[in-house]
Amino acid sequence: MEDGDRAWRDLDADGVQDAGEPGFPGVTFILRSAPTSAVVAGAVSDLSGTYYFSGVPAGAYTIEVVPLPGFGATLLDVGSDALDSDFDDTTLATSPFTFVNGNFNIDCGLKTVDPT
């Protein structure tokens, strides 16, 4: 089974996937066990921004995002869970969560950041 969700370009930086905001390909995601932070798996988002981890066993995890240069995470948890970003804009990681089975519902909004 494959589990994951979507990276998208948050054009208005409001933390919510709006109509017309495109998926973000080429973003790296690192699945880590919680609380040890050991790397369990890695994934890169596809052309539509979708990312997957295969064969994830039940357990506690966090996911870290590695944005492309010039981008950072947008606002965290500002809308419905199906449409908002689940990554902290400072740590670039999710809060710990428990996975049992089924798909993750963990999206990542990315906005341009000022390099200065």
Residue predicted with more confidence, 53 or 100: 53
Residues 6+ apart with CB under 8 A from 19: none
The total number of residues written for the chain in this structure: 116
pLDDT at 1 over 50: no
Domain chopping of the chain, boundaries: 2-112
Question: Hey, is 65 helix, strand or coil?
Answer: strand
> Domain 2-112, what fold?
Immunoglobulin-like (2.60.40)
Please write the tens of the pLDDT for every residue from 44-92.
999 999 998 888 888 999 999 999 999 999 999 887 767 889 999 999 9
Please write the tens of the pLDDT for every residue from 12-30.
999 998 889 999 999 999 9
Nearest to residue 61, comparing CAs of 100, 8, 7?
100
Rounded distance between C-alpha atoms, residue 36 and residue 30, angstroms: 14
What's the pLDDT score for residue 5?
A: 87
Tell me the average pLDDT across 82-105. 85
Which residues make beta-bridge pairs with 41? 31
In this prediction, residue 100 has a pLDDT band, given cuts at 50, 70 and 90, of: confident
pLDDT at 102 over 80: no
